[in-house]
Amino acid sequence: MSSSPLSSPSRRSFLRTAGIAAAAFPIMSEGHLAWAAMQQQTKPARRQRPAADANGAAPVMINANENPLGPCQSALAAIDASALTGGRYDANGGLDKLVTLLSQQTGVTGDVKLPEDHIAVYAGSSEPLHFTVLAFCSDSKPYVTADPSYEAGMWAAQAAEAKVSKWPLTETYAHDVKAMVGASPTAGVIYICNPNNPTGTLTPKEDIVWAAKNKPAGTVLLIDEAYIHLSEAPSCLDLVQQGLDVIVLRTFSKVYGMAGIRCGVAFGKPELLAKLQRYGMNPLPVTAVTAASASLSEADLVATRRKIIADTRNSTFKWLANKGYKFIPSVSNCFMIDTGRPGKDVIAAMQKQNVFIGRTWPIWPNHVRVSVGTPAEMAAFQAAFESVMSAPPATA
C-alpha cells in the first residue's frame, strides 16, 4: 500500500527543509506582547479592548507603542481605493511599485542606494525578525541581545532551539556591543534595536559599525530600525550597501501609524534575504501595500509626526521631572519610569483607573514602560500615575 502524499517521508522532509514546521511557531509582535502583559493583570475571558469607565471615558491605551495619529490621509484614501481590487492578489502591481519606491528613497541622500533585490516586503517587521532568527540560529548558534530590549527575537530563538545570550545595557542605556560581539564565537544573530525598545535610547552608529566589522564570521547583525524615524539618528542602511552580513528592519507601524495594517521591510544582500524566504512569503494585503506607498509619498510626514510625538513626550518628561519621578530620557515614542516599587503593582493600579501602560522587564522589575499617546491621553496618564504613586506601595 502506497503512502499518502501528505504523510510520505519526502513530504515531511520537504516541510522540514522549507522551514514550515519552525515557522508554525507564533510570530510575536509588539501587539501580542502588550496583550499578554495586560492579560497577566486582568485575565479577561477573551481578547478584547478594555471598556469605557463608569463615566463613559474611553480607556487610555498607551501600552503597545502605537501611534495614535493613525494612517495619514493619503494612506486612508489609498486603502479606500485599493479595496475595490481586493478580489485580486495584486491587481495593479502594487508590491513592485512599493519596492521600487523604497529603492528610490534609500538613495534620496545620495550616499546610500539599495537595488530592489536588496529589499523584501512583509506583513510587518515581525515576520522578517522571526525568520532571520530561524534562518541563522540553532542549538549551536546562539541568539545575542541586549537586556532589556525587544523580546520577540527571543521567542523565535526558542523555536530554533537556540541559546539566548542577554547583555545589560551600558550606563548610557546603549547596547554593549563589545560584550555582545564577544558573547559567542558561533553566534547566529546579534540583535540591535535602535532606538531601543523599551528604553527609547540610542546606540551610537559608530558602535554598530564596529559590531558589523568585528562580529564573528558567519554571524548576522540584525538591526531593528522600527523606531528610527522618531529620532534623528543616522540609519545603518549603508552597511547593507557595503555588502556586510547585516539585515536592517523597518516598519510602517510606528511613525506611519499603520500597526494594524501590517507592512514592514527587510533590507539585506540577496543571499541573506533568500534564506528568509523559505519560512514564508505570502501575498500582502493590497490595502497595506498601497497605504505604505502613499505614506512614503508624503514628503513632510516623518518630520511632522516626529515633532508632534517629541513635543508630547518632552512635555511629559517636564512633568515627570517637576514631580521628582525618575525616568530614562528617550528619543522614541516610549520611555521607562523607575517606580521604586514592583512595576507590575503599578501597572495593575493604573489599570483600575482605566489607564493601560506597558510591561516590565525581568532585569528591571521596578521600571514600567509608557508609550507616548495624544496630549489628552498623557494628561490622563499623569493624573492616574500621580494618584497611584501617592498611595503607599502595598495599597497600590
What digits encode the pLDDT tens for the residues 146-203?
999 999 999 999 999 999 999 999 999 999 999 999 999 999 999 999 999 999 999 9
Same domain as 198, residue 108: yes
pLDDT category, 23, cuts 50, 70, 90?
very low
Judge residue 171's burial from the number of C-beta atoms within 10 Å of its C-beta, 0-12 exposed, 13-18 middle, 19 or more buried: exposed
What is the average pLDDT across 332-338? Answer: 98
pTM > 0.85: yes or no: yes
Residue 81 and residue 227 in one domain: yes
Statement to judge: residues 34 and 78 lie in one domain:
no
Q: Which residues of 206-217 are buried (b: 16+ CB within 10 A; e: fewer)?
A: ebbbebbeebbe
Backbone angles phi, psi at 207, to 5 degrees: -70, -40
State how far the Cα of 267 lies from the Cα of 286, in Å rounded to an integer: 21
- Residue 17: pLDDT band with limits 50, 70, 90: very low
Tell me the C-alpha distance between 138 and 162, whole Å.
5
CA–CA separation, 318 vs 322, rounded Å?
Answer: 6
Mapping DSSP to helix (H, G, I), strand (E, B) and coil, where does residue 150 land?
coil
Rounded distance between C-alpha atoms, residue 311 and residue 264, angstroms: 26
Residue 372 lies in a domain: yes
* 339 in the same domain as 235: no
Average pLDDT, the chain: 89
End-to-end CA distance of the chain: 68
Average pLDDT over residues 320-344: 98
Instruction: Point out which residues pair with 266 in neighbouring strands.
Output: 120, 249
pLDDT for residue 22 is more than 60: no
Tell me how far apart the alpha carbons of residues 358 and 371 are, in angstroms, rounded to a whole number: 7
- Per the structure block, which three cell numbers stand in for 373? 499617546
pLDDT digits (tens, 9 = 90+) for 315-330: 999 999 999 999 999 9
In this structure, the answer to whether residues 227 and 131 fall within a common structural domain is: yes
316 with 281, same domain: the answer is no
Q: Is 79 a residue whose pLDDT tops 50? A: yes
